[in-house]
Amino acid sequence: MDDRPIGVFDSGVGGLTVVKELRTQLPHEDLIYFGDTARVPYGSKSVPVIRRFSLEITRFLESQRVKMVVVACNTASALALDFLRRQSSVPVIGVIDPGVRAALAHEQVRAVGVIGTQATIRSEAYQSRLLRLRADCQVVAKACPLLVPIVEENLVATPIATLALEMYLAELRDRRLDALILACTHYPLLKEAIAAFLGTGVTLIDSAEETAREVTEVLQARRITGPADRPGTEEFYVSDSPEAFMRVGEPFLGRPMRQVFVEHVWKRDLGLGPDATPL
């Protein structure tokens, strides 16, 4: 048994969908989440900047004695995962490989769509992995940058969301996809609307669910599962307003956050200097 917590981070609140799935599948594990809300979004930033931010957060999580780091951000997983694995002494799990394996789980799958941020799609991380595992697979990738603010502003059930899905997904609907990977942790909140737009026959791959399954497998394989005789705890850290994080984050977590411990992390806690000015 290993009672150390699992560390999870994202550029903002989207990674809470991964926390939600981890809690469902691993009810006895302690979780520590970091949301880099002062520097969101990562999707429009350069590779060196994304790697630097990701390493700073990984170092912070390591200072909290985590036994694993889950990169619950598709952009950071695409551009910084291998870099973080070389820098960290604990296992580092991303959200890309679990989603790719789930999309290709059935032999008859031949056409796969991928939707995500501009940086995730531009990196071709999903596309290259899909083709590496199945060379004859047809891959259609589409950046959908407006979907993140639509989710964060709670506009999922509005005509704005409908128009955005029409603009982004009309091309994908015409391609007769077998599966569509939701390559952004915000997108599960749009799952019903996306499924209705694409129609039957398209399997939606939720990277949050698949990542939680992989975390479970790694914990068991390394024999570092937590004690099963108590409920797991949760701690949340952010680089900007805790109040805004809780307000926006509740739909992602799927439950109220009013009683949840949320702490504002300062620059000095991320190793960015001695001053105590918030990020």
1 lies in a domain? no
- Whether residue 41 is preceded by a cis peptide bond, meaning omega within 30 degrees of 0, is yes
Rounded CA-CA distance 214/268 in Å is: 33
Q: Structurally, how many domains does the chain consist of?
A: 2
Higher pLDDT residue, 42 or 94? Answer: 94
Per-residue pLDDT tens digits for 134-148: 999 999 999 999 998
Query: pLDDT value at position 274?
Result: 44
Rounded CA-CA distance 196/234 in Å is: 34
45 lies in a domain? yes
Per-residue pLDDT tens digits for 9-19: 999 899 999 99
What is the average pLDDT value for the chain, to the nearest integer?
Answer: 91
Final residue before a domain boundary, out of 206, 227, 246: 206
Residues 138 and 86 in one domain: no
Flag whether pLDDT at 276 surpasses 50.
no
Residues 111 and 176 in one domain: yes
Residues 85 and 23 in one domain: yes
Catalytic annotation present for 184 = yes
38 lies in a domain? yes
Q: Which of 76, 130, 184, 248 is catalytic?
A: 184
Q: Which domain holds residue 200?
A: 97-206
Catalytic annotation present for 144 = no
78 lies in a domain? yes
> Distance from first CA to last CA of the chain, Å, rounded?
36
Final residue before a domain boundary, out of 152, 186, 206: 206
Higher pLDDT residue, 166 or 269? Answer: 166
Residues 248 and 221 in one domain: yes
Residues 201 and 105 in one domain: yes
Where does the pLDDT of residue 107 fall: very low under 50, low under 70, confident under 90, or very high at 90 and above?
Answer: confident
275 lies in a domain? no
Which helix (H) or strand (E) is 172 found in, with range?
helix 159-174
Residues 56 and 143 in one domain: no
Residues 141 and 69 in one domain: no
**Share above pLDDT 90 across residues of the chain, in percent, rounded to a whole number:** 70
Residues 63 and 194 in one domain: no
- Residue in 126, 131, 133 with CA at minimum distance from that of residue 183: 126
Within 10 angstroms of residue 244's Cβ, the number of other Cβ atoms is 13
Residues 20 and 79 in one domain: yes
pTM (two decimals): 0.89
**Share above pLDDT 70 across residues of the chain, in percent, rounded to a whole number:** 94
Within 10 angstroms of residue 80's Cβ, the number of other Cβ atoms is 25
Query: pLDDT value at position 8?
Result: 98
- Residue in 84, 100, 108, 272 with CA at minimum distance from that of residue 183: 100
Helices (H), 40-73: 47-63
Residues 119 and 160 in one domain: yes
Per-residue pLDDT tens digits for 178-212: 999 999 989 999 999 999 999 988 999 998 889 99
Instruction: Output the domain CATH number for residue 74.
Output: 3.40.50.1860
279 lies in a domain? no
Flag whether pLDDT at 247 surpasses 80.
yes
Buried b (16+ CB within 10 A) or exposed e, 21-60: bbbeebeebbbbbbbbbbbbbbbebeeeebbebbbbbbeb
Q: Which of 61, 69, 71, 73 is catalytic?
A: 73
H, E, C per residue of 188-234:
HHHHHHHHHHHCCCCEEEEHHHHHHHHHHHHHHHHCCCCCCCCCCCE
Final residue before a domain boundary, out of 150, 181, 206: 206
Rounded CA-CA distance 202/277 in Å is: 48
Rounded CA-CA distance 88/54 in Å is: 11
Residues 127 and 182 in one domain: yes
Specify the DSSP class assigned to residue 266. Answer: B
**Residue in this structure with the two tokens 């290259």, named with its chain if needed:** 128
